[in-house]
Amino acid sequence: MAEAGESSSRRERLLPLFREARASALLITALPNVRYLSGFTGSNGALLLTGDRALLFTDPRYESQASQESDCEVKIAKGALMKDLSKWIRRLRIRSLAFEQNRISFEDHQQLREHAEGVHLKALSGAVEQLRMIKSNAEIATIKTSVQVNSAAFEQAFRHFKPSMTELDLAAEIEYRMRRLGAERAAFETIVAAGARSALPHARATELPIQPDQLLLVDMGANVAGYSSDMTRTHAVGKLGPKVRRMYRAVLESQLAAVDAVKPGVSCTNVDRTAREVLRGFGLEKLFVHSTGHGLGLEIHERPRVGRKERTKLEAGMVITIEPGVYQEGIGGVRIEDTVVVTPHGCEVLTPTRKELVVL
Ligand code: ZN
Ligand code: ZN
């Protein structure tokens, strides 16, 4: 949760961006960005920032919540937010307005053009997301709690595991435990994929029973006070053949090597390459079909992307996942994922759950 004063200092750090965008005001429409800059957690809101004022627009449902959560001037709109907001654009004599080009709806943009006629609209992309890459100590503490809740839910759910349970049963058990342990909700739809289905990197849990002598992949995250965690573990249900066990060893070695490479100054592409090189040693790199990881925080996928093309250098305070995987069609997949925080001299793996192969 944002500490008192935290959102106003974040807004201050945005000021240089006004100059960069040559705009006299900024319009924030992405809800996670609205939350980050104002503290407001409702599902309908927009933020208008000028050099010295911060106006939060929402609808009558959120009137008291908005003023409780936010230190911004709250404006309650009776109809479309952009209509009311445009009135203020005129009232404050804003001539040029930067907007979040990748996170505004077509409708909002059209309404702005209609109601704030004559105002120069300037497309801006990723400005707040860039600020959000570096987490404050309070944010890191919240993510830590989220990670702990997530791992505790995983452990508790597996205490109730029995073969023949369906993938959906296990997913439901996990999400129930998560909420009992203090999560607001799951950060994303829990993935439980058994056997050959584990070869689908983003499988949906099904009504199929979990059979013995195969892999079982679980990818899950909690959302605690707005902040996500993300973890994948792959277990063996019964006996695995030597090929699949070797796959597991390869992914584990790749994951450990990539975690080892995480420190300030190292580029994301280098961390990604480290993970791939280990898999190449096993002849499995072609079966690794996604990026090594991603930033997370108020959203489950944030910058930086820990992938081949991301040149961003890691900095202390970034929170990322490290999650190499190998997927063999018809046989199954192994992925091992931790949530990791970059520290001044290296990194700290926040996820406490063990990574050695567990046989159920
Ligand atoms: Zn995940
Ligand atoms: Zn992930």
Q: For residue 271, report the distance from its CA to the centre of ligand 1, in Å.
A: 17
Q: For residue 293, report the distance from its CA to the centre of ligand 2, in Å.
A: 6
What pLDDT sits at residue 6? 87
Residue ranges of domains in the chain = 7-132, 137-349
Q: For residue 68, report the distance from its CA to the centre of ligand 2, in Å.
A: 33
Which strands form 222-224's sheet, in the order they lie side by side? 185-186, 222-224, 227-228
Q: Picking from 14-28, 288-302, 321-335, which range would have the lowest pLDDT averaged per residue? A: 14-28
Percentage of the chain lying above the pLDDT 90 cut: 93
Q: Which residue has the tokens 């059209």?
A: 110
Q: For residue 228, report the distance from its CA to the centre of ligand 2, in Å.
A: 10
What pLDDT sits at residue 235? 98
Q: For residue 294, report the distance from its CA to the centre of ligand 2, in Å.
A: 6
Q: For residue 29, report the distance from its CA to the centre of ligand 1, in Å.
A: 27
pLDDT at position 189 over 90: yes
Burial of 22 (0-12, 13-18, 19+ CB in 10 A): exposed
pLDDT at position 101 over 90: yes
Q: Are 292 and 266 in contact (CB under 8 A)?
A: no
What pLDDT sits at residue 146? 98
What pLDDT sits at residue 236? 97
Rounded mean pLDDT of 56-73? 97
Q: For residue 70, report the distance from its CA to the centre of ligand 1, in Å.
A: 31
What pLDDT sits at residue 25? 95
For the chain, state the CA radius of gyration: 23
What pLDDT sits at residue 2? 47
pLDDT at position 137 over 90: yes
Q: What is the mean pLDDT of the chain?
A: 95
Report residues near ion ligand 2: CB below 5 Å.
Answer: 230, 321
Q: For residue 166, report the distance from its CA to the centre of ligand 2, in Å.
A: 23
Say which CATH architecture domain 137-349 belongs to: Alpha-Beta Complex (3.90)
What pLDDT sits at residue 102? 94
Judged by its nearest atom, the ligand closest to the C-alpha of residue 150 is 1
pLDDT at position 312 over 70: yes
pLDDT at position 321 over 60: yes
> Helix 268-281 crosses helix 242-261 at what angle (to 10 degrees)?
150
Rounded mean pLDDT of 232-252? 97
Q: For residue 5, report the distance from its CA to the centre of ligand 1, in Å.
A: 32
pLDDT at position 1 over 60: no
Q: For residue 29, report the distance from its CA to the centre of ligand 2, in Å.
A: 25
What pLDDT sits at residue 202? 86
Q: What is the pTM of this model?
A: 0.95
With the C-alpha atoms ordered 189, 191, 192, 196, is the resulting torsion angle positive or negative?
positive
pLDDT at position 4 over 60: no
How is 323-335 classified by DSSP, letter by letter?
--EEEETTTEEEE
SS3 126: coil
CATH ID of 7-132, from 3.40.350.10, 3.40.50.300, 3.90.1150.10, 3.40.50.2300? 3.40.350.10
Rounded mean pLDDT of 174-186? 98
Q: For residue 281, report the distance from its CA to the centre of ligand 2, in Å.
A: 24
Percentage of the chain lying above the pLDDT 70 cut: 99
What pLDDT sits at residue 324? 98
Separation CA 210–CA 303 (nearest Å): 35
pLDDT at position 19 over 80: no
Q: For residue 236, report the distance from its CA to the centre of ligand 2, in Å.
A: 21
Judged by its nearest atom, the ligand closest to the C-alpha of residue 296 is 2
